[in-house]
Amino acid sequence: MNVMGGSSRAEDAAAGRLRGEALVDYVIETLQAGGQVDRRRFGKAGPTPLPPDRLAGLTLDKKGRPLPPSLRRWLAFSALDLGFIEDVSRPALRGLPIVKAAEAAFPGWGDSFREGFKDVLPGSCLLFKGDGESRHFLYAGEPDTLGEYPIFQMSIDDFPFVALDCPGLDVFLAQRYGVLSYRDDLFKHDVLGASMREQALLNFGGYRSYDFPAGVTNRRIDEPDED
């Protein structure tokens, strides 16, 4: 606790009360603790910030929508680690439809995400760096009340599958870089659960998870939890 009796930033972050740019600031400060950033996370050269003049003109998509606060703050710190931008001198965010994003993530699997998925996820997807049978993407659908966009996980372990993973890039970064560790199911989180439900309604047709054509894992937010 601080001297005024209120909660600290660390406590607010851990409880899910710190969001957006403020949470990303906390992540960055934690990564920089000790005077330098761990080069294992960003390569030998360390984080590569996006120059202010390039960041000022960057939009989320061709419609000219503004970046979510969390992404704008992170790109000012590190522009290349997410996989969204390849050249800081000529930055551009190029989202892909779910079918093309799946093909880029899992070559040969794109068509498996065509029927069904494009109906519940008609917007564009910004694919994070990665490999293997599970990948994440930022979904540029509709912003929530904080101006944030959801993070989804898709996989091809047993069948094509997509699940809502985080309510925004801020929460995703906090977990990705080991700054915070929330419980596995954020829908059950005391604070973040409301944000997860909001994103599910705005951007996922009310689903928590979805697969096609099997429908084995299709779960809506209004369904009772399984025992």
**Computed from CA positions of residues 73, 76, 81, 86, in that sequence, does the dihedral angle turn out positive or negative?**
positive
Side-by-side strand order, sheet with 151-155:
96-97, 124-127, 134-140, 151-155, 161-166, 207-211, 219-220
Structure confidence at residue 45 (pLDDT): 73
Name the band, by pLDDT with cuts 50, 70 and 90, for residue 216.
Answer: confident
- Least Cα distance to 172 among 205, 139, 141 occurs for 139
Peptide bond into 213 cis (omega under 30): yes
Domains in the chain: ranges and CATH: 9-220 (3.40.1580)
User: CB pairs under 8 A, 24+ apart, for 132-135?
Assistant: 133/106, 133/157, 135/105, 135/106
- Inform me whether the pLDDT recorded for 91 exceeds 70: yes
More confident residue, 116 or 200: 200
Which segment of 112-116, 154-158, 167-171, 221-225 scores lowest on mean pLDDT? 221-225
Rounded to an integer, the average pLDDT of 102-113 is 94
Structure confidence at residue 69 (pLDDT): 98
Burial of 63 (0-12, 13-18, 19+ CB in 10 A): exposed
Which segment of 92-101, 185-194, 213-222 scores lowest on mean pLDDT? 213-222
Does residue 125 contact residue 140 with C-beta atoms inside 8 Å?
A: yes
- Inform me whether the pLDDT recorded for 207 exceeds 90: yes
- Least Cα distance to 151 among 139, 134, 135 occurs for 139
Structure confidence at residue 34 (pLDDT): 63
Name the band, by pLDDT with cuts 50, 70 and 90, for residue 87.
Answer: very high
Does residue 47 contact residue 86 with C-beta atoms inside 8 Å?
A: no
**Computed from CA positions of residues 13, 123, 86, 130, in that sequence, does the dihedral angle turn out positive or negative?**
positive
Q: Report the amino acid identity of residue 191.
A: V
Q: What is the DSSP-derived secondary structure letter of residue 10?
A: H
Does residue 149 contact residue 168 with C-beta atoms inside 8 Å?
A: yes
Reported as a single tens digit per residue, the pLDDT across 122-177 is: 999 999 998 888 999 999 999 999 999 999 999 998 789 999 999 999 999 999 99
Rounded to an integer, the average pLDDT of 107-125 is 91
List alpha helices for 4-91, DSSP H: 9-15, 20-31, 39-42, 52-56, 69-77
Structure confidence at residue 66 (pLDDT): 96
